[in-house]
Amino acid sequence: MTLIVGSIRAHDVILTADGRSTRMENGVVTAIDDHFQKLFPIPAHPVVIAHMGENDLAGEPLGRFLGRFIEKLNAGNFTIQQIADRLRCYAQPAVRARLKTAGSVNGCNLWVAGFSYLEPEPAIVETFWKYKEGVLYTEERRFGPTSVVPGGDGAKQIEPVNWHAIDGKSIRQVRAYHHTLMREATTANVKPNTVGGDIEEIVITPERWKWVKAPRENKAAPATRSFPDPKM
């Protein structure tokens, strides 16, 4: 119930996420939150966790649930893959319980994106869970440069991504491409449209991460649903 677009190049990773969280019961939308944070940077490390899908985990706000993992993680000691392994082990009991209880056709998806001090290139490692007919299925994928990765149900509402659109381009041009994809998903003729709301965006380099559009909770920058020309 979201769209996150990640572009991975040799020297940066750029993530753009929508802000919509939709609660449904028996196929009917019962609540919409258009200010939901989906990108969670790890302080003092060039790594970001991204979330898609079922977000009511362990009966607490998603930020608190992921925050407890981040607080205990010494990210500098691990590769991106190893951080993803630890996150998967941490999250799986809560994900299993949520998907089993919800009986939902949706899944839960977590990304670990960015740079490790132990590796020469950035990566996105994706872990996806889905509960079907009493069985919890888990998949893992790894993406490196140069690639564009769409995540969430909103990926079905956009044209196939093209890595040529980001290869050799400026950060401004990559963000513009992300905004084109996000606009395509938010204006798609689907009901209900589970993509929309505030936009958050972050750029990760080998040294740090930097909010370009911060989520509203961070108060670092106003979130907006508009898509002005990128300035970075």
- For the chain, domain boundaries: 4-218
Q: pLDDT per position in the chain (232 positions), as tens?
A: 699 999 999 999 999 999 999 876 666 777 889 999 999 999 999 999 999 999 889 989 999 999 999 999 999 999 999 999 999 999 999 999 999 887 666 799 999 999 999 999 999 999 999 988 888 999 999 999 999 999 999 999 999 999 999 999 999 999 999 999 999 999 999 989 999 999 999 999 999 999 999 998 644 333 334 344 444 5
Within 10 Å of residue 232's Cβ, how many Cβ atoms?
A: 12
Report the pLDDT value the prediction gives residue 230, as an integer from 0 to 100.
44
Report the pLDDT value the prediction gives residue 227, as an integer from 0 to 100.
42
Please name the fold of domain 4-218: Glutamine Phosphoribosylpyrophosphate, subunit 1, domain 1 (3.60.20)
Query: At a CB cut-off of 8 Å and minimum separation 6, what does 113 contact?
Result: 6, 8, 13, 15, 47, 48, 49, 50, 80, 122, 123, 124, 125, 204
